Protein backbone atom coordinates (compact mmCIF):
# COMPACT_ATOMS: atom_id res chain seq x y z
CA UNK A 1 0.00 0.00 0.00
CA UNK A 2 1.33 3.41 -0.91
CA UNK A 3 1.53 5.79 2.00
CA UNK A 4 -0.06 9.15 1.26
CA UNK A 5 2.41 11.98 1.06
CA UNK A 6 2.46 14.24 4.05
CA UNK A 7 0.98 17.58 3.24
CA UNK A 8 3.41 20.35 3.99
CA UNK A 9 1.65 23.07 5.91
CA UNK A 10 4.45 25.55 5.77
CA UNK A 11 8.18 25.77 6.18
CA UNK A 12 10.39 27.46 8.71
CA UNK A 13 13.03 29.43 6.89
CA UNK A 14 15.80 31.37 8.55
CA UNK A 15 18.37 33.73 7.21
CA UNK A 16 21.06 35.43 9.21
CA UNK A 17 23.33 38.02 7.66
CA UNK A 18 26.23 39.87 9.21
CA UNK A 19 27.90 42.78 7.50
CA UNK A 20 31.39 43.49 8.82
CA UNK A 21 33.58 46.46 8.21
CA UNK A 22 37.07 45.28 7.29
CA UNK A 23 39.36 48.21 6.63
CA UNK A 24 36.68 50.23 4.91
CA UNK A 25 35.28 47.35 2.88
CA UNK A 26 32.01 45.75 3.96
CA UNK A 27 32.13 41.96 4.00
CA UNK A 28 29.06 39.73 4.12
CA UNK A 29 28.95 36.71 6.39
CA UNK A 30 26.07 34.27 6.37
CA UNK A 31 26.01 32.32 9.64
CA UNK A 32 22.72 30.71 8.76
CA UNK A 33 20.47 30.20 5.76
CA UNK A 34 17.66 27.73 5.63
CA UNK A 35 15.31 27.39 2.64
CA UNK A 36 13.37 29.01 1.23
CA UNK A 37 15.41 32.06 2.25
CA UNK A 38 18.74 32.45 0.54
CA UNK A 39 21.40 34.89 -0.52
CA UNK A 40 23.85 34.03 -3.27
CA UNK A 41 26.59 36.61 -2.94
CA UNK A 42 27.34 40.20 -2.09
CA UNK A 43 28.17 42.77 -4.73
CA UNK A 44 30.62 45.53 -3.88
CA UNK A 45 29.29 49.07 -3.93
CA UNK A 46 31.29 52.20 -4.69
CA UNK A 47 32.65 53.50 -1.41
CA UNK A 48 33.09 50.06 0.14
CA UNK A 49 29.53 48.97 0.84
CA UNK A 50 27.95 45.63 -0.02
CA UNK A 51 24.73 44.91 -1.92
CA UNK A 52 22.76 41.75 -1.25
CA UNK A 53 19.67 40.35 -2.93
CA UNK A 54 17.23 38.40 -0.78
CA UNK A 55 15.84 35.33 -2.51
CA UNK A 56 12.78 33.32 -1.60
CA UNK A 57 13.14 30.00 -3.42
CA UNK A 58 9.41 29.27 -3.01
CA UNK A 59 8.66 32.19 -5.30
CA UNK A 60 6.61 33.75 -2.55
CA UNK A 61 5.38 33.29 0.98
CA UNK A 62 3.09 30.28 1.19
CA UNK A 63 0.33 29.79 3.73
CA UNK A 64 1.81 28.53 6.99
CA UNK A 65 5.39 29.60 6.19
CA UNK A 66 7.25 31.06 9.14
CA UNK A 67 10.24 33.05 7.97
CA UNK A 68 12.85 34.81 9.99
CA UNK A 69 15.49 37.23 8.78
CA UNK A 70 18.16 38.61 11.07
CA UNK A 71 20.53 41.24 9.82
CA UNK A 72 23.39 42.72 11.78
CA UNK A 73 25.27 45.60 10.24
CA UNK A 74 28.33 46.04 12.37
CA UNK A 75 29.95 49.33 13.29
CA UNK A 76 31.12 51.26 10.25
CA UNK A 77 29.73 48.79 7.70
CA UNK A 78 27.50 49.84 4.80
CA UNK A 79 24.86 47.41 3.56
CA UNK A 80 22.28 47.66 0.85
CA UNK A 81 19.61 44.97 0.77
CA UNK A 82 16.98 44.49 -1.85
CA UNK A 83 14.73 41.71 -3.09
CA UNK A 84 14.76 39.97 -6.45
CA UNK A 85 11.13 40.80 -7.07
CA UNK A 86 7.82 41.58 -5.37
CA UNK A 87 7.01 39.45 -2.33
CA UNK A 88 4.01 37.40 -3.33
CA UNK A 89 1.90 36.49 -0.32
CA UNK A 90 -0.10 33.44 -1.32
CA UNK A 91 -3.54 32.40 -0.16
CA UNK A 92 -3.48 30.84 3.32
CA UNK A 93 -3.43 27.06 3.57
CA UNK A 94 -6.40 24.71 3.83
CA UNK A 95 -6.44 25.12 7.59
CA UNK A 96 -6.42 28.86 7.25
CA UNK A 97 -2.87 29.03 8.53
CA UNK A 98 -1.34 32.45 8.39
CA UNK A 99 2.18 32.95 7.15
CA UNK A 100 4.65 35.08 9.03
CA UNK A 101 7.85 36.97 8.55
CA UNK A 102 9.98 38.21 11.42
CA UNK A 103 12.65 40.77 10.60
CA UNK A 104 15.27 41.68 13.18
CA UNK A 105 17.73 44.32 12.09
CA UNK A 106 20.46 45.92 14.16
CA UNK A 107 22.67 48.65 12.79
CA UNK A 108 25.89 49.39 14.65
CA UNK A 109 27.66 52.64 15.38
CA UNK A 110 28.15 54.76 12.27
CA UNK A 111 26.95 51.89 10.10
CA UNK A 112 24.38 52.33 7.35
CA UNK A 113 21.61 50.05 6.13
CA UNK A 114 19.63 50.72 2.99
CA UNK A 115 16.72 48.28 2.85
CA UNK A 116 14.94 48.70 -0.44
CA UNK A 117 12.67 45.76 -1.22
CA UNK A 118 10.05 45.43 -3.93
CA UNK A 119 6.41 45.70 -2.82
CA UNK A 120 4.40 43.12 -0.92
CA UNK A 121 1.57 41.70 -3.01
CA UNK A 122 -1.04 39.96 -0.86
CA UNK A 123 -3.06 37.52 -2.97
CA UNK A 124 -6.77 36.86 -2.46
CA UNK A 125 -7.30 34.88 0.73
CA UNK A 126 -3.82 35.64 2.11
CA UNK A 127 -3.23 35.84 5.83
CA UNK A 128 0.14 37.25 6.66
CA UNK A 129 1.86 38.70 9.67
CA UNK A 130 5.09 40.63 9.47
CA UNK A 131 6.99 42.01 12.40
CA UNK A 132 10.06 44.17 11.95
CA UNK A 133 12.35 45.35 14.71
CA UNK A 134 15.10 47.81 13.84
CA UNK A 135 17.65 49.02 16.35
CA UNK A 136 19.96 51.87 15.52
CA UNK A 137 23.12 52.43 17.55
CA UNK A 138 24.70 55.84 17.99
CA UNK A 139 25.32 57.51 14.65
CA UNK A 140 23.76 54.63 12.69
CA UNK A 141 21.90 55.40 9.48
CA UNK A 142 18.86 53.85 7.86
CA UNK A 143 16.94 54.12 4.61
CA UNK A 144 14.09 51.65 4.90
CA UNK A 145 11.01 51.48 2.76
CA UNK A 146 8.05 49.23 2.34
CA UNK A 147 5.20 49.33 -0.13
CA UNK A 148 2.02 47.29 -0.02
CA UNK A 149 0.06 46.59 -3.20
CA UNK A 150 -3.69 45.97 -3.14
CA UNK A 151 -3.30 42.49 -4.64
CA UNK A 152 -2.94 41.11 -8.14
CA UNK A 153 -4.48 44.08 -9.87
CA UNK A 154 -4.24 42.58 -13.36
CA UNK A 155 -6.53 39.76 -12.21
CA UNK A 156 -8.92 42.19 -10.61
CA UNK A 157 -7.82 41.24 -7.12
CA UNK A 158 -8.17 44.44 -5.14
CA UNK A 159 -8.12 44.12 -1.36
CA UNK A 160 -9.27 40.51 -1.43
CA UNK A 161 -6.77 39.31 1.14
CA UNK A 162 -8.14 38.07 4.46
CA UNK A 163 -5.73 39.67 6.85
CA UNK A 164 -2.48 41.55 6.70
CA UNK A 165 -0.72 42.45 9.93
CA UNK A 166 2.34 44.62 9.64
CA UNK A 167 4.21 46.00 12.58
CA UNK A 168 7.40 47.99 12.87
CA UNK A 169 9.38 49.01 15.90
CA UNK A 170 12.22 51.43 15.31
CA UNK A 171 14.57 52.48 18.10
CA UNK A 172 17.54 54.80 18.07
CA UNK A 173 20.02 54.76 20.92
CA UNK A 174 17.55 52.64 22.88
CA UNK A 175 14.70 55.10 22.49
CA UNK A 176 11.57 54.22 20.56
CA UNK A 177 11.22 56.67 17.67
CA UNK A 178 8.56 54.97 15.53
CA UNK A 179 5.92 52.32 16.08
CA UNK A 180 3.53 51.04 13.48
CA UNK A 181 1.00 48.31 14.11
CA UNK A 182 -1.61 47.74 11.48
CA UNK A 183 -4.12 44.98 11.08
CA UNK A 184 -5.83 45.13 7.72
CA UNK A 185 -8.95 43.07 7.22
CA UNK A 186 -10.61 44.60 4.17
CA UNK A 187 -13.81 42.57 4.55
CA UNK A 188 -14.27 43.80 8.12
CA UNK A 189 -12.78 47.28 8.00
CA UNK A 190 -13.02 48.57 4.43
CA UNK A 191 -9.78 50.06 3.19
CA UNK A 192 -11.79 52.25 0.85
CA UNK A 193 -13.02 54.31 3.81
CA UNK A 194 -11.87 57.92 3.76
CA UNK A 195 -10.41 57.24 7.21
CA UNK A 196 -8.01 54.75 5.60
CA UNK A 197 -7.17 54.80 1.88
CA UNK A 198 -10.27 56.16 0.15
CA UNK A 199 -9.79 55.47 -3.58
CA UNK A 200 -6.03 54.97 -3.30
CA UNK A 201 -4.72 51.41 -3.53
CA UNK A 202 -1.02 51.36 -2.74
CA UNK A 203 0.56 52.65 0.42
CA UNK A 204 4.15 53.09 1.37
CA UNK A 205 6.36 54.17 4.26
CA UNK A 206 9.95 55.27 3.99
CA UNK A 207 12.06 55.84 7.12
CA UNK A 208 15.16 57.99 6.80
CA UNK A 209 17.24 58.05 9.97
CA UNK A 210 20.66 58.92 11.24
CA UNK A 211 21.61 59.14 14.90
CA UNK A 212 23.36 62.11 16.40
CA UNK A 213 22.15 64.94 14.16
CA UNK A 214 20.79 68.21 15.53
CA UNK A 215 17.04 68.78 15.46
CA UNK A 216 17.56 71.59 12.95
CA UNK A 217 18.96 69.10 10.43
CA UNK A 218 15.72 67.11 10.59
CA UNK A 219 13.58 70.19 10.29
CA UNK A 220 15.54 71.15 7.18
CA UNK A 221 15.25 67.66 5.70
CA UNK A 222 11.52 67.57 6.46
CA UNK A 223 11.18 70.84 4.61
CA UNK A 224 13.15 69.59 1.56
CA UNK A 225 11.23 66.31 1.44
CA UNK A 226 7.93 68.15 1.84
CA UNK A 227 8.78 70.33 -1.16
CA UNK A 228 9.57 67.22 -3.17
CA UNK A 229 6.36 65.59 -1.87
CA UNK A 230 4.43 68.55 -3.20
CA UNK A 231 6.00 68.17 -6.64
CA UNK A 232 5.42 64.41 -6.75
CA UNK A 233 1.80 64.55 -5.59
CA UNK A 234 -0.96 64.50 -8.17
CA UNK A 235 -4.39 65.07 -6.64
CA UNK A 236 -6.55 62.01 -6.98
CA UNK A 237 -3.62 59.88 -8.16
CA UNK A 238 -0.75 59.97 -5.69
CA UNK A 239 -0.16 61.80 -2.42
CA UNK A 240 3.17 62.22 -0.67
CA UNK A 241 4.08 63.69 2.69
CA UNK A 242 7.02 63.83 5.09
CA UNK A 243 7.38 64.53 8.76
CA UNK A 244 10.02 64.53 11.50
CA UNK A 245 9.93 61.62 13.90
CA UNK A 246 10.31 62.14 17.64
CA UNK A 247 14.08 62.07 17.12
CA UNK A 248 16.78 61.02 14.69
CA UNK A 249 14.67 60.67 11.60
CA UNK A 250 11.97 61.53 9.12
CA UNK A 251 9.18 59.39 7.79
CA UNK A 252 7.81 59.70 4.28
CA UNK A 253 4.38 58.35 3.50
CA UNK A 254 2.64 57.85 0.18
CA UNK A 255 -0.64 56.54 -1.15
CA UNK A 256 -1.30 56.01 -4.81
CA UNK A 257 -3.61 54.49 -7.36
CA UNK A 258 -0.65 52.94 -9.14
CA UNK A 259 2.51 51.24 -7.98
CA UNK A 260 4.81 52.78 -10.54
CA UNK A 261 4.33 56.27 -9.13
CA UNK A 262 5.32 55.00 -5.69
CA UNK A 263 8.46 53.28 -6.98
CA UNK A 264 9.57 56.38 -8.87
CA UNK A 265 8.80 58.68 -5.96
CA UNK A 266 10.65 56.52 -3.43
CA UNK A 267 13.77 56.72 -5.56
CA UNK A 268 13.47 60.51 -5.69
CA UNK A 269 13.01 60.70 -1.92
CA UNK A 270 15.96 58.39 -1.35
CA UNK A 271 18.21 60.45 -3.63
CA UNK A 272 17.31 63.63 -1.79
CA UNK A 273 17.66 62.08 1.67
CA UNK A 274 21.01 60.45 0.88
CA UNK A 275 22.40 63.67 -0.52
CA UNK A 276 21.20 65.73 2.44
CA UNK A 277 22.35 63.31 5.15
CA UNK A 278 25.49 61.81 3.62
CA UNK A 279 26.38 64.11 0.75
CA UNK A 280 26.35 61.05 -1.49
CA UNK A 281 24.39 59.90 -4.49
CA UNK A 282 21.89 57.12 -3.96
CA UNK A 283 22.75 54.20 -6.22
CA UNK A 284 19.69 52.08 -7.04
CA UNK A 285 20.42 48.38 -6.61
CA UNK A 286 20.91 46.51 -9.83
CA UNK A 287 18.40 43.71 -10.16
CA UNK A 288 19.39 40.23 -11.11
CA UNK A 289 16.15 39.09 -12.60
CA UNK B 1 -19.77 56.80 40.55
CA UNK B 2 -21.27 59.55 42.71
CA UNK B 3 -22.93 62.59 41.26
CA UNK B 4 -20.03 64.91 42.06
CA UNK B 5 -17.66 62.72 39.98
CA UNK B 6 -20.24 62.67 37.22
CA UNK B 7 -20.39 66.45 37.14
CA UNK B 8 -16.61 66.70 37.11
CA UNK B 9 -16.48 64.27 34.21
CA UNK B 10 -19.06 66.32 32.31
CA UNK B 11 -16.83 69.34 32.68
CA UNK B 12 -13.72 67.49 31.52
CA UNK B 13 -15.57 66.19 28.49
CA UNK B 14 -17.04 69.58 27.62
CA UNK B 15 -15.67 70.92 24.35
CA UNK B 16 -15.57 74.34 26.03
CA UNK B 17 -12.86 73.14 28.43
CA UNK B 18 -10.01 75.62 27.81
CA UNK B 19 -7.34 73.20 26.61
CA UNK B 20 -7.07 74.56 23.08
CA UNK B 21 -8.69 71.49 21.52
CA UNK B 22 -10.67 73.73 19.18
CA UNK B 23 -7.45 74.94 17.54
CA UNK B 24 -6.60 71.50 16.18
CA UNK B 25 -8.20 69.60 13.33
CA UNK B 26 -5.61 66.76 13.29
CA UNK B 27 -5.47 66.71 9.51
CA UNK B 28 -9.17 67.23 8.78
CA UNK B 29 -8.58 70.76 7.44
CA UNK B 30 -6.34 69.35 4.71
CA UNK B 31 -8.74 66.50 3.92
CA UNK B 32 -11.52 69.05 3.47
CA UNK B 33 -9.32 71.40 1.45
CA UNK B 34 -8.35 68.60 -0.93
CA UNK B 35 -11.99 67.62 -1.38
CA UNK B 36 -11.45 64.18 0.14
CA UNK B 37 -13.73 64.79 3.13
CA UNK B 38 -17.18 66.25 2.49
CA UNK B 39 -20.31 66.77 4.56
CA UNK B 40 -22.07 63.73 3.14
CA UNK B 41 -19.14 61.47 4.03
CA UNK B 42 -18.34 62.92 7.45
CA UNK B 43 -20.38 60.50 9.55
CA UNK B 44 -18.93 57.45 7.80
CA UNK B 45 -15.45 58.91 8.14
CA UNK B 46 -15.81 59.47 11.88
CA UNK B 47 -17.30 56.01 12.32
CA UNK B 48 -14.16 54.45 10.85
CA UNK B 49 -11.87 57.01 12.49
CA UNK B 50 -13.16 55.81 15.86
CA UNK B 51 -12.13 52.25 14.94
CA UNK B 52 -8.59 53.38 14.14
CA UNK B 53 -7.19 56.49 15.87
CA UNK B 54 -10.10 56.57 18.33
CA UNK B 55 -9.48 53.00 19.46
CA UNK B 56 -5.74 53.49 19.73
CA UNK B 57 -6.17 56.53 21.97
CA UNK B 58 -8.88 54.83 24.03
CA UNK B 59 -6.34 52.10 24.74
CA UNK B 60 -3.75 54.64 25.88
CA UNK B 61 -6.40 56.37 27.95
CA UNK B 62 -7.07 53.11 29.80
CA UNK B 63 -3.38 52.38 30.23
CA UNK B 64 -2.91 55.81 31.82
CA UNK B 65 -5.96 55.27 34.01
CA UNK B 66 -4.38 52.13 35.47
CA UNK B 67 -1.02 53.82 36.01
CA UNK B 68 -2.79 56.26 38.30
CA UNK B 69 -2.94 53.58 41.01
CA UNK B 70 0.79 52.84 41.00
CA UNK B 71 1.79 55.33 43.65
CA UNK B 72 5.57 55.65 43.96
CA UNK B 73 6.24 53.44 40.96
CA UNK B 74 4.33 55.80 38.70
CA UNK B 75 7.02 57.96 37.13
CA UNK B 76 8.86 55.51 34.91
CA UNK B 77 5.87 53.71 33.36
CA UNK B 78 4.22 57.09 32.84
CA UNK B 79 7.25 58.28 30.91
CA UNK B 80 7.38 55.05 28.90
CA UNK B 81 3.70 55.33 28.04
CA UNK B 82 4.04 58.87 26.75
CA UNK B 83 7.15 58.03 24.74
CA UNK B 84 5.25 55.11 23.27
CA UNK B 85 2.35 57.35 22.29
CA UNK B 86 4.82 59.74 20.64
CA UNK B 87 6.34 56.87 18.66
CA UNK B 88 2.86 55.87 17.48
CA UNK B 89 2.28 59.39 16.15
CA UNK B 90 4.50 59.78 13.07
CA UNK B 91 3.28 63.25 12.16
CA UNK B 92 5.06 66.11 13.89
CA UNK B 93 2.14 68.55 13.94
CA UNK B 94 -0.36 66.03 15.30
CA UNK B 95 2.14 64.77 17.85
CA UNK B 96 2.90 68.28 19.03
CA UNK B 97 -0.82 69.08 19.08
CA UNK B 98 -1.48 66.09 21.31
CA UNK B 99 1.38 67.11 23.62
CA UNK B 100 0.22 70.69 23.73
CA UNK B 101 -3.31 69.65 24.72
CA UNK B 102 -1.87 67.31 27.33
CA UNK B 103 0.19 70.10 28.88
CA UNK B 104 -2.79 72.43 29.01
CA UNK B 105 -5.01 69.80 30.57
CA UNK B 106 -2.40 69.16 33.26
CA UNK B 107 -2.10 72.88 33.99
CA UNK B 108 -5.85 73.28 34.14
CA UNK B 109 -6.39 70.25 36.36
CA UNK B 110 -3.76 71.50 38.80
CA UNK B 111 -5.79 74.67 39.16
CA UNK B 112 -8.87 72.64 39.96
CA UNK B 113 -7.53 69.97 42.34
CA UNK B 114 -4.46 69.08 44.39
CA UNK B 115 -3.08 66.16 42.38
CA UNK B 116 0.58 65.34 43.19
CA UNK B 117 1.00 62.78 40.40
CA UNK B 118 -0.10 65.32 37.84
CA UNK B 119 2.42 67.79 39.20
CA UNK B 120 5.15 65.39 38.02
CA UNK B 121 3.72 65.81 34.52
CA UNK B 122 3.29 69.56 34.68
CA UNK B 123 5.06 71.91 32.26
CA UNK B 124 7.13 73.30 35.13
CA UNK B 125 8.54 69.89 35.99
CA UNK B 126 12.17 69.33 35.10
CA UNK B 127 11.48 65.67 34.44
CA UNK B 128 11.52 64.36 30.88
CA UNK B 129 8.05 63.00 31.47
CA UNK B 130 6.68 66.53 31.37
CA UNK B 131 5.98 65.43 27.77
CA UNK B 132 2.45 64.21 28.22
CA UNK B 133 -0.13 63.37 25.64
CA UNK B 134 -3.73 64.45 25.95
CA UNK B 135 -5.22 60.95 25.92
CA UNK B 136 -2.84 59.84 28.68
CA UNK B 137 -3.51 62.88 30.86
CA UNK B 138 -7.25 62.40 30.41
CA UNK B 139 -7.01 58.77 31.54
CA UNK B 140 -4.75 59.59 34.47
CA UNK B 141 -7.03 62.39 35.55
CA UNK B 142 -9.97 60.01 35.45
CA UNK B 143 -8.20 57.70 37.87
CA UNK B 144 -7.04 60.45 40.21
CA UNK B 145 -10.53 61.90 40.37
CA UNK B 146 -11.86 58.38 40.99
CA UNK B 147 -14.11 58.47 37.98
CA UNK B 148 -15.51 55.19 36.67
CA UNK B 149 -13.13 53.76 34.04
CA UNK B 150 -15.79 53.06 31.42
CA UNK B 151 -17.33 56.47 31.84
CA UNK B 152 -13.89 58.06 31.54
CA UNK B 153 -13.14 56.32 28.21
CA UNK B 154 -16.55 57.21 26.85
CA UNK B 155 -16.13 60.80 27.93
CA UNK B 156 -12.77 60.93 26.15
CA UNK B 157 -14.26 59.58 22.94
CA UNK B 158 -17.21 61.95 23.23
CA UNK B 159 -14.90 64.91 23.79
CA UNK B 160 -12.48 64.18 20.96
CA UNK B 161 -15.20 63.27 18.47
CA UNK B 162 -17.08 66.42 19.41
CA UNK B 163 -13.95 68.50 18.79
CA UNK B 164 -13.50 67.01 15.34
CA UNK B 165 -17.13 67.67 14.46
CA UNK B 166 -16.76 71.21 15.74
CA UNK B 167 -13.69 71.66 13.52
CA UNK B 168 -15.72 70.43 10.56
CA UNK B 169 -18.44 72.99 11.29
CA UNK B 170 -15.84 75.66 10.66
CA UNK B 171 -14.40 73.94 7.60
CA UNK B 172 -17.44 72.89 5.64
CA UNK B 173 -21.11 73.71 5.16
CA UNK B 174 -22.15 71.75 8.22
CA UNK B 175 -24.97 73.31 10.24
CA UNK B 176 -25.39 73.01 13.99
CA UNK B 177 -28.41 70.75 13.74
CA UNK B 178 -26.72 68.41 11.28
CA UNK B 179 -23.57 68.35 13.40
CA UNK B 180 -25.61 67.44 16.48
CA UNK B 181 -27.39 64.65 14.60
CA UNK B 182 -24.09 63.19 13.40
CA UNK B 183 -22.65 63.33 16.91
CA UNK B 184 -25.81 61.67 18.26
CA UNK B 185 -25.73 58.87 15.70
CA UNK B 186 -22.04 58.20 16.45
CA UNK B 187 -22.78 57.20 20.04
CA UNK B 188 -23.04 53.46 19.25
CA UNK B 189 -19.66 53.64 17.50
CA UNK B 190 -18.18 55.33 20.57
CA UNK B 191 -19.65 52.60 22.76
CA UNK B 192 -18.21 49.92 20.50
CA UNK B 193 -14.79 51.59 20.51
CA UNK B 194 -14.80 51.75 24.30
CA UNK B 195 -15.86 48.11 24.42
CA UNK B 196 -13.11 47.07 21.99
CA UNK B 197 -10.53 48.90 24.06
CA UNK B 198 -11.53 46.86 27.11
CA UNK B 199 -10.21 43.82 25.26
CA UNK B 200 -7.10 45.35 23.70
CA UNK B 201 -5.62 47.88 26.11
CA UNK B 202 -3.49 45.43 28.08
CA UNK B 203 -1.86 43.80 25.06
CA UNK B 204 0.60 46.10 23.36
CA UNK B 205 0.55 43.80 20.33
CA UNK B 206 -3.17 44.35 19.92
CA UNK B 207 -2.83 48.10 19.63
CA UNK B 208 -3.26 49.00 15.99
CA UNK B 209 -4.07 51.89 13.75
CA UNK B 210 -4.21 52.33 10.01
CA UNK B 211 -5.02 55.85 8.90
CA UNK B 212 -2.57 56.75 6.12
CA UNK B 213 -4.77 59.32 4.47
CA UNK B 214 -5.31 61.29 7.68
CA UNK B 215 -1.60 61.08 8.47
CA UNK B 216 -0.73 62.33 5.01
CA UNK B 217 -3.23 65.15 5.39
CA UNK B 218 -1.51 66.14 8.65
CA UNK B 219 1.89 66.01 6.97
CA UNK B 220 0.66 68.17 4.10
CA UNK B 221 -1.27 70.57 6.31
CA UNK B 222 1.60 73.06 6.91
CA UNK B 223 1.72 73.65 3.16
CA UNK B 224 -1.78 75.16 3.12
CA UNK B 225 -1.55 78.86 2.24
CA UNK B 226 -4.17 79.89 4.76
CA UNK B 227 -5.42 77.73 7.53
CA UNK B 228 -7.75 77.93 10.48
CA UNK B 229 -6.14 75.25 12.60
CA UNK B 230 -2.69 74.70 14.12
CA UNK B 231 -2.66 71.04 13.16
Interface test with B, best of A243, A248, A265 (most B CBs within 10 A): A243
Q: Does A136 touch chain B (CB under 8 A)?
A: no
**What total of structural domains would you count in chain A?**
1
Of A5-19, A105-119, B18-32, highest mean pLDDT: A105-119
Mean pLDDT of A107-126: 97
pLDDT over 70, % of chain B: 95
State yes or no: pLDDT of A189 exceeds 50: yes
Confidence at residue B128, expressed as pLDDT on a 0 to 100 scale: 47
State yes or no: pLDDT of A230 exceeds 80: yes
Query: What are the angstrom distances between the C-alpha of A18 and each of A28, A30, A74, A114, B102?
Result: 6, 6, 7, 14, 43
CB contact under 8 A, A241 and B215: yes
Mean pLDDT of A254-267: 97
Note whether residue B206 is domain-resident.
yes
Pair B46, B182: CB distance under 8 Å:
yes
State yes or no: pLDDT of A2 exceeds 80: no
Confidence at residue B231, expressed as pLDDT on a 0 to 100 scale: 84
Write phi, then psi, for A20 (nearest 5 degrees).
-110, 145
- Count of Cβ atoms closer than 10 Å to residue A8 Cβ: 10
Confidence at residue B124, expressed as pLDDT on a 0 to 100 scale: 57
Pair A224, A240: CB distance under 8 Å:
no
Q: Give B126-143 pLDDT, tens digit per residue.
A: 554 568 999 999 999 999
Residues of A in contact with B90 (CB under 8 A): 178, 180, 243, 245, 251, 253
Confidence at residue B123, expressed as pLDDT on a 0 to 100 scale: 56
Element (H, E) at B97: helix B92-112
Note whether residue A129 is domain-resident.
yes
Q: Residue B196 class from Cβ within 10 Å (0-12 exposed, 13-18 middle, 19+ buried)?
A: middle
Note whether residue A5 is domain-resident.
no
Confidence at residue A198, expressed as pLDDT on a 0 to 100 scale: 96
Note whether residue A286 is domain-resident.
no
Q: Give A128-179 pLDDT, tens digit per residue.
A: 999 999 999 999 999 999 999 999 999 999 999 999 999 999 999 999 999 9
Instruction: Give B119 to chain A, closest Cα distance, Å.
Output: 24
Q: Does B66 touch chain A (CB under 8 A)?
A: no
Which residues span the domain enclosing A257?
12-278
**What total of structural domains would you count in chain B?**
1
Nearest to B90 among A175, A243, A254 (CB): A243
Confidence at residue B115, expressed as pLDDT on a 0 to 100 scale: 82
Note whether residue A155 is domain-resident.
yes
Note whether residue A289 is domain-resident.
no
Q: Give B175-199 pLDDT, tens digit per residue.
A: 999 999 999 999 999 999 999 999 9
Given pLDDT bands bounded at 50, 70 and 90, which one contains residue A1? low
State yes or no: pLDDT of A110 exceeds 80: yes
Share the mean pLDDT of chain B.
Answer: 92
Nearest to B87 among A178, A239, A243 (CB): A178
Q: Tell me, what's the ipTM? A: 0.92
CB contact under 8 A, B219 and A253: yes
Confidence at residue B230, expressed as pLDDT on a 0 to 100 scale: 87
Which residues span the domain enclosing B190?
41-214
How, if at all, do strands A50-56 and A78-83 pair?
parallel
Q: Give A236-245 pLDDT, tens digit per residue.
A: 999 999 999 9
The HSE-up count of residue A28 (CA atoms within 13 Å, CB side) is 25
CB contact under 8 A, A184 and B214: no
List the CATH number of the domain containing B210. Answer: 1.10.4190
Instruction: Give B147 to chain A, closest Cα distance, Å.
Output: 30
Nearest to A193 among B31, B48, B205 (CB): B48
The pTM score is 0.94
Question: Which residue of chain B is at minimal alpha-carbon distance from A249?
Answer: B90
CA distance B57 to A100: 27
Nearest to B213 among A198, A226, A235 (CB): A198
CA distance B43 to B170: 16
Note whether residue B16 is domain-resident.
no
Mean pLDDT of B89-98: 96
Confidence at residue B205, expressed as pLDDT on a 0 to 100 scale: 84
Note whether residue A252 is domain-resident.
yes
Note whether residue A273 is domain-resident.
yes
Note whether residue B6 is domain-resident.
no
In 3D, which of A197, A122, A209 has the Cα closest to residue A168? A209
pLDDT over 90, % of chain B: 77
Amino acid sequence: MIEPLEVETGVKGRLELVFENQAGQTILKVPRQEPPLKVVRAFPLPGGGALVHLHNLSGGVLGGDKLETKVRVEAGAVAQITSTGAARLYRSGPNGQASGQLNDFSIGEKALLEYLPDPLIPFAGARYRQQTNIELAAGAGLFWWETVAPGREARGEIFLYDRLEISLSLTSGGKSIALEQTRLEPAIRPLTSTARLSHYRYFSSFYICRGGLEKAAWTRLESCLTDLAGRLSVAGETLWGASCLVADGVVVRAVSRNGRAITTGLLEMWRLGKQELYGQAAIPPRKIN
Amino acid sequence: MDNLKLLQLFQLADSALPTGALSHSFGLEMLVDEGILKVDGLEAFLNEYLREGGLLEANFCRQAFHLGNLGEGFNQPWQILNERISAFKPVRESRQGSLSLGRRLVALALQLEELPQLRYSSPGSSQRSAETHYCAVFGLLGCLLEVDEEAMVLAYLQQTTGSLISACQRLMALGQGQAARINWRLKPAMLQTALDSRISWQENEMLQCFAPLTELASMRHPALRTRLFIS
